[in-house]
Amino acid sequence: MEKIKQWQMTALNTAFQLVESPMPNIREGEALVQVAGCGVCHTDLSFWHDGVRTKKEMPLTLGHEISGTVVQGPAHLQGKNVIIPAVLPCGDCELCNKGRSNMCQNQLMPGNDFHGGFASHIVVPYKYLCPVPESVLKKYKLEELSVIADAISTPYQVIKKSEIEKGDLAICIGVGGVGVYGALIAKIMGAKVLAIDINDLKLEQALKNGVDATLNSKDLDLKTIKIKVKEIAKELGVPKYGWKIFEFSGTTAGQDLAFNLITFTSTLSIVGFTMNKVEVRLSNLMAFDAKLIGTWGCKPELYAEVIELIDSGKLEIKDFVQTFPLSQINEVFTNTLAHHYTKRSVLVPDFK
């Protein structure tokens, strides 16, 4: 292929346009990756539908959840199947040196700072490309593994950051996409897991894959939900205190619920994103001696640990991924916005 083909966002809430451009010459420190698959993330919808500003002006190729094969680059990566981290830090700044590379202020994000993965190829810095072992590719297609770059690695980082311990109660609010992986990772780390959602299909899927309990919060008021959560906690035999609460839904209702579930010595982790504001009483953090933390992507240094979870068989991902031809991007974005899917959508290049 002599040209890069990309589906680009040219304006808010308008159809993506197929464009072609000459295949670029890569510079020092870069690699050219042929895209195998690129996941559709809530962040992409925020850029396309909600008007969240991207660093690079439109027209822009979105997509930051990418797997592919290196076709140009350093000798040690030539021909390698890789995951492209959604957060690409510089590796040399103060934050990187303090182990907070996911917050590097020089970081680059595909589909935000530069053209992303809804394309035939992508040019990226190669420093943090994560090779995929052949043993993993015996179980999964490379395009399916694109979800590692955000949907799996992001919850992995925040669950480690929450200091979760064996026997803790992990409450996961919103178990589609990122949330269901978060629930499963919390279970792998020894927690008893309660999944809360408004979609019975997502809850059934989570229960089928190992969570301990589910609760459909649709049409329930906060008081009723809190009573039910306490009853479930008692049934699971977990402590009344120290709950680890993870807000994955990225909705006002989800964030409001998450804050209201804080109890003594709880840790609330905010993972989902919304432009909307939530009114809360911050003094609850003081009164409960609780912690409120956020997370941004996942530092590339943790990707090998995520791949090991999949390679070992502890984390199964097939039930939560569905693939579509990249040429169906407009249909997939519209359906994702309308919540028609219960699995993570991955777009697979189908250029002629």
What's the domain range around 255? 153-294
Q: Which two tokens mark 305?
A: 């640990």
The proportion of the chain whose per-residue pLDDT surpasses 70, expressed as a percent, equals 100
Quick one: which of 118, 45, 107, 113 has its CA closest to 296?
107
- Same domain for 109 and 203, yes or no, is no
* Rounded CA separation 24/6 (Å): 13
- Asked if 146 contacts 39 with a C-beta cutoff of 8 angstroms, the reply is yes
**What pLDDT does residue 42 have?**
87
Cα 21 from chain centroid (whole Å): 29
DSSP-derived secondary structure letter, 274: -
* One domain, residues 104 and 175: no
Q: For residue 262, what are the CA distances in angstroms to 6, 98, 218, 255?
A: 44, 30, 20, 11
Average pLDDT over residues 116-127: 97
8 and 145 co-located in one domain: yes
Q: Does 109 score more than 70 pLDDT?
A: yes
Tell me the per-residue pLDDT of 292-350, one tens digit each, with 9 for 90 and over: 999 999 999 999 999 999 999 999 998 889 999 999 999 999 999 998 988 899 999 99
- The pLDDT of residue 24: 86
Last residue of a domain, one of 279, 294, 309: 294
Each residue's pLDDT tens digit, 161-196: 999 999 999 999 999 889 999 999 999 999 999 999
Please name the residue ranges forming H helices in the chain.
Answer: 42-45, 94-97, 134-137, 153-161, 178-188, 200-208, 222-236, 252-260, 283-287, 303-311, 329-337
Domain count, the chain: 2
CATH number, domain with residue 260 = 3.40.50.720
Mark whether 199 and 307 lie in a shared domain. no
Does residue 115 sit in the same domain as residue 189? no
pTM (2 decimals)? 0.92
Residue 105 scores a pLDDT above 90: yes
Indicate if 284 and 303 belong to the same structural domain.
no
pLDDT in tens, 136-158: 999 999 999 999 999 999 999 99
Pair (246, 112) in one structural domain: no
In the prediction, which pLDDT does 273 show? 86
Number of H helices, E strands in the chain: 11, 15
Q: What is the pLDDT of residues 9-39, one digit of tens each?
A: 999 999 999 999 999 889 999 999 999 999 9
For residues 264-297, one letter each, b for 16 or more C-beta atoms within 10 angstroms of the residue's C-beta and e for the rest, the string is eebbbbbbbbbeeebeeeeebbeeeebebeebbb
pLDDT tens per residue, range 31-76: 999 999 999 998 999 999 988 999 999 999 999 999 999 999 999 9
What CATH number has the domain bearing residue 140?
3.90.180.10
